[in-house]
Amino acid sequence: MTEMGRWEALLNEVEKLRRLHGDAICNADKCREFNRKMSDLLMRLEEMEEFRLADRVMDALSVCNPKTGSHCENSERMKGMLERLNERVKEMLKEK
């Protein structure tokens, strides 16, 4: 896969995570799925040696605390973090 293709796939993955997060706010199973996929994204960014983006994902994971039977306390904060991550990936894609 080309470098441009990797960044496009990364952008697609972040956008899917944003949608999943919206669905996961009141659903513990989807919340755990979101958390797992964010962890996968972190590993992928580290493999790409994109450590600044990986740090952003790590910060987001520190806020994410899946709980059964309760509303996400940090949903708005996480939403903002995902939006900023999405914008940063778009900027990186433009640079490629």
Q: Are 57 and 40 in contact (CB under 8 A)?
A: no
Give me the number of domains the chain comprises: 1
Residue among 15, 48, 21, 25 nearest 36 (CA): 21
Confidence of residue 33 (pLDDT cuts 50, 70, 90): very high
Mean pLDDT of 19-32: 85
Range of the domain at 17: 3-95
User: What pLDDT, on a 0 to 100 scale, did the predictor assign at position 71?
Assistant: 67
The average confidence (pLDDT) of the chain is 90
Residue 81 pLDDT more than 90? Answer: yes
pTM, 2 dp: 0.87
User: What pLDDT, on a 0 to 100 scale, did the predictor assign at position 27?
Assistant: 82
